[in-house]
Chains A and B, each alone.
Chain A
Amino acid sequence: MYQYLYDLTGSGILSAFIVASFPLVNVLIVVVVGVYLERKVSAHMQDRLGPMRTGWHGSLQLIADFIKLLQKEDISSKDTDKFLFNLAPVLVFTAAFAAYATIPFSSKLIGSEAEVGIFYIIAISGIVVVSILMAGWSANNKYSLLGAMRSVAQIISYEIPTALVVLSIVMLTGTLSLGKMSEMQTAYFWNWNILGGAGFGFTKFLLIPFMVVGFIIIYISTLAETNRTPFDIPEAESELVAGYFTEYCGMKYAMFMLSEYGNMFAVSAIISILFFGGYQSPFGYFGNSLNAHWMIPYEQAFWFLLKSWIFILVQMWLRWTLPRLRVDQLMTVCWKYLIPYAILNLIIIGIISLL
């Protein structure tokens, strides 16, 4: 993308700045749309209207909320560890934001075409654990502490099945770069990894069931990693008030919310890259058939956003349907079911891709 902008503007600083600010703008848009959708989706699922007063169908509600949060006095209780307390929300947002660097929105729209894209994302999302522990510990509140302990245990556990499934895709595609992974699933939807990838013949059909299993495993574990219901026990409202961010208010609280929605989009994007062709259209491009090649990146961005938002909507759907699991049941799901199946799946996909 840098090269594209550099060719367009001829200014290195300007294009670098645009490239760098692109993910940030995207995170903010994701949060604005995500929170609004969350409210509206939940409202319509629950037979109510949701926000209706601010703007058309409540569309300005989030702006009102942000103004409110910005105006809030920054309160922290007497015994908090101020340094860690203030650092935690910044760090958690940084981690969520940094993950966007390697996500390819289209073939031309990538922050950084890193060769180790997916590995980088898994690594960077580990920082979230540290900041959650910081937030929970520094607040000097028992609910925060319990919430942080639960959250850390949960996120660390669920990173394993996520990583195992990612590994199986890496074995299949032979690359760690998200851009290359997307490129390989080009042309038509039967080339998507969920349908066995871009290969030919018998092995492709053999792969399909294991790909579906892999998709289910990674979807469940990313739900847990983003603390969404049924795995939202770290912030289990009815038990731990608000979990690790109980003591936060104002903009610091908003940072946690921003990173939550940012993470939601990031994991949805990763799932769509790993299994559903990333930015690839399910059936060719209008740009090709109309002989207007400049259209293709925009079409790709459209498909990419569409796929990601579908996964976000499914997350919301699940959230407003299911109760939450208990902390020990959560661990049972992960260690007794997801990890063994993920390992088995990894081995089988490895063997098939060797065939």
Chain B
Amino acid sequence: MQLKTESMTLNMGPQHPSTHGVLRLELEIEGELVLNVIPHLGYLHRCFEKHAEAMQYNQVVPYTDRLDYLASIGNNFGYAITVEKLLGIKVPERVEYIRVIMAELQRIASHQVALGSNGADLGAFTPFLYLFRDREHILSIIEETCGARMLYNYIWVGGLSHDVHPDFVFKTKEFVEYYKPMIVELDNLLSYNKIFIERTANVGILPLDTAINFGASGPTLRGSGIKFDLRRDDPYSIYDRFDYDIPFGQGLQGTVGDCWDRYYVRVREMEQSLKIIEQAIDQIPEGDVKSAIPKRIKPPKGTAYARVENPRGELGYFIISDGNTNPFRVKVRAPSFVNLEVLGELCKGNLVSDVVAILGSIDIVLGEVDR
């Protein structure tokens, strides 16, 4: 006799310890096996794009902080570049250097959260706290300069909100020296942990063509084995002046494009960010960071699209100007939103425990997914 079986629907989220915010995943499961995943978005929708239309150009900057709240400086950066492109202004050298250093510090801080929560989702809680301990150094460096620890509102159109604190160079150098051995510690504690490798290697394999078809970017794309980084391939600001590598997934512990590769790309990217900071920190020229800030931002009619490599991938702003002081339309290409789309593909046929590992390795921020 054939028994009639029925799959079970399990709602993971919006309140769940490992959905990294208010994401709801509708899992169709048979025992522990996941048959289908439907992500439900929109719990954190704040109408950013519509809000931006009612704001003057410079007033939008604080709102961009709240997109990817773990990498606020990257969001400011992207927006500032886009409006500067629209205005056709050039910012002073000092501003460029500080922007790059800040963005790279922010990238490390953001990856620390990503790696830590990826590990915490798999039960390794100690590396999570170690990473947060080290993140504290970055936050205090940024806090000293601009007064905020999370939503910085630091990079303005045409300049910066504050010049860096006098201690900035010293403290950043100190951090770079401090943090290098900590990456080794992380590798020993988590990256090469046998259980961690068992949990992440050969799990959630994202083939390169699928990644490209879905428009994935950032570590999610690079984990699939391609060296694509906007800092190198579409250089903005002054990234073309520095020497750094682009880590990519090589399938060291399993197949190219598995969770471990995505995780490991982030670890190695932190090293490269330190390298960029090391090169940039000695070259900061003197100057006034506010000299190029326009008094009134009224760009000519037209459109501009600029993209930056945020910790989570390609962050693009598309701005239409109708010649007023308010943008006519702001469209954000949010990397987390696009990367999240591969989740369904990756989770099918895996176990419930793997969904957590895969979600952690894609590393989404719901503030950016829902905007």
Total number of A residues with any Cβ neighbor in B under 8 Å: 30
Q: What is the CA–CA distance of A140 and B167 in the complex, to the nearest angstrom?
A: 58
* Pairwise interchain contact B130-A232, C-beta atoms closer than 8 A: no
Q: A46-B129, A47-B130, A326-B354 are in contact. Are A241 and B123 (CB under 8 A)?
A: no
Residues of chain B contacted by A45 (CB below 8 angstroms)? 126
Nearest to A145 among chain B residues (CB) is B8
Nearest to B353 among chain A residues (CB) is A326
Q: What is the CA–CA distance of A320 and B190 in the complex, to the nearest angstrom?
A: 12
Q: What does the 1/0 interface line of A313-334 toward B look like (CB < 8 Å)?
A: 0000000111111111100000
Residues of chain A contacted by B193 (CB below 8 angstroms)? 322-323
Nearest to A328 among chain B residues (CB) is B351
Total number of B residues with any Cβ neighbor in A under 8 Å: 31
Q: A46-B129, A229-B123, A324-B123 are in contact. Are A239 and B356 (CB under 8 A)?
A: yes
Q: What is the CA–CA distance of A229 and B119 in the complex, to the nearest angstrom?
A: 14
Interface of B is mostly: helix
CB distance from A248 to the nearest CB of B (A): 17
Looking at B8, B16, B125, B199, the one whose CB has the most chain A CB atoms below 10 A away is B125
Residues of chain B contacted by A150 (CB below 8 angstroms)? 32
* Pairwise interchain contact A320-B354, C-beta atoms closer than 8 A: no
* Pairwise interchain contact A326-B351, C-beta atoms closer than 8 A: yes
Partner pick for B199 among A149, A320, A321, A323, CB 8 A cutoff = A323
Is A233 an interface residue, CB under 8 A from the partner? yes
Is B149 an interface residue, CB under 8 A from the partner? no
* Pairwise interchain contact B18-A146, C-beta atoms closer than 8 A: no
CB distance from B56 to the nearest CB of A (A): 43
* Pairwise interchain contact B198-A325, C-beta atoms closer than 8 A: yes
Interface positions of B from 1 to 44, Cβ below 8 Å from A: 8, 10, 16-18, 31-32
Q: What is the CA–CA distance of A30 and B193 in the complex, to the nearest angstrom?
A: 31
CB distance from B3 to the nearest CB of A (A): 18
CB distance from A44 to the nearest CB of B (A): 11
Is A238 an interface residue, CB under 8 A from the partner? yes
* Pairwise interchain contact B352-A239, C-beta atoms closer than 8 A: yes
Q: What does the 1/0 interface line of A195-228 toward B look like (CB < 8 Å)?
A: 0000000000000000000000000000000000
Is B261 an interface residue, CB under 8 A from the partner? no
**A positions within 8 Å CB-CB of B:** 42, 45-48, 142-143, 146, 149-150, 229-230, 232-233, 236-241, 320-329
8 example contacts (A-B, Cβ-Cβ < 8 A) are as follows A142-B10, A149-B31, A236-B123, A238-B356, A321-B124, A323-B195, A326-B351, A328-B32
CB-CB nearest 4 A-B residue pairs: A324-B123, A238-B18, A323-B124, A46-B129
